Amino acid sequence: MQVNGEDCPDPASPVTAGDQVTVTYDPHQGYPEKKRPWSDRTFSVVFEDKHLIVVNKSAGVLTVATDSGDPTTLVARVSNYVRHATGRRDVYVAHRLDRGVSGLLVFGKSLEAGRHLQEQFKRQQPERVFVGIVGGQMKSDQGTLRSYLDTGNNLDAFATHSKEQGQLAVTHYLVLNRLPDLTVVQMRLETARRHQVRVQFADAGHPFLGDPRYGGKASRHELWNKKRIALYASSLTIVHPVSGQQQTFECPTPKAMQRFMVS
């Protein structure tokens, strides 16, 4: 580096208005390589601080590992990101999303934050809002689905009206758009059972597009050829584990669903 044509060995030397500073790149100097920005097909970061991270999960990705031993899980990928960015260790799972569903998930960055978030979800405190596309025309513009969910021997969940048999599941819905043979609905979960909205809407005769597990042939549609379920977690409200402040996070509509959102 030179200042006014003379070598300047100290880069911290003060300069004044009108000084001419010349910097020359030396390819043999061995400058440290600039850290590349993180890019990952399994998620994008929505919010992050020292205590937690909120991500938008891609469809087709498991939240945590199963017995099948899938090497690509969201918790592993987010842990890699956190280690890369901050040097911290693994993140802590507070809740999950089904593999074929995209949307918002929060992870704790410390054991304490993770436990605090887990306790919130255990008590059904966070507000979780989903948006999806179901087959057929919903009769009412808004309503509530209330049933009891149990799990069969094949691990599929199913709805029952016997409170002695299953766990209470309550979903409030609002119709956002109507197409000739499809309905776009917004759902607010009062409870958060395994596969809750998928089972309840299929049981009501309106399965989500792309969900043959619960909708069978009725989940197929000529306008939906995606290898995912037409469902995403659009909004998540939690209490921050350290500040105690309520925080709401939102994510954009997946591209695969955007054209269905307006007539």
Catalytic residues: 98
Are the C-beta atoms of 108 and 57 separated by less than 8 Å?
Answer: no
85-93, long-range: CB within 8 Å, 24+ apart, which pairs?
85/38, 91/53, 92/117, 92/118, 93/63, 93/64, 93/118
How many Å from the N-terminal Cα to the C-terminal Cα in the chain? 62
Which amino acid, one-letter code, is at 258? Q
Using a 10 angstrom Cβ sphere, with 0-12 exposed, 13-18 middle and 19 or more buried, the burial of residue 68 is exposed
Q: Give the CB-side neighbour count of residue 165, counting CA atoms within 13 A.
A: 12
What CA–CA distances, in Å, run from 134 to 158, 173, 229?
Answer: 18, 12, 10
What CA–CA distances, in Å, run from 237 to 35, 40, 45, 160?
Answer: 33, 24, 16, 29
The sign of the dihedral angle between the CA atoms of 205, 211, 213, 217 is: positive
Q: Is 177 helix (H, G, I), strand (E, B) or coil?
A: strand
The rounded distance, in Å, linking the Cα atoms of 191 and 14 is 63
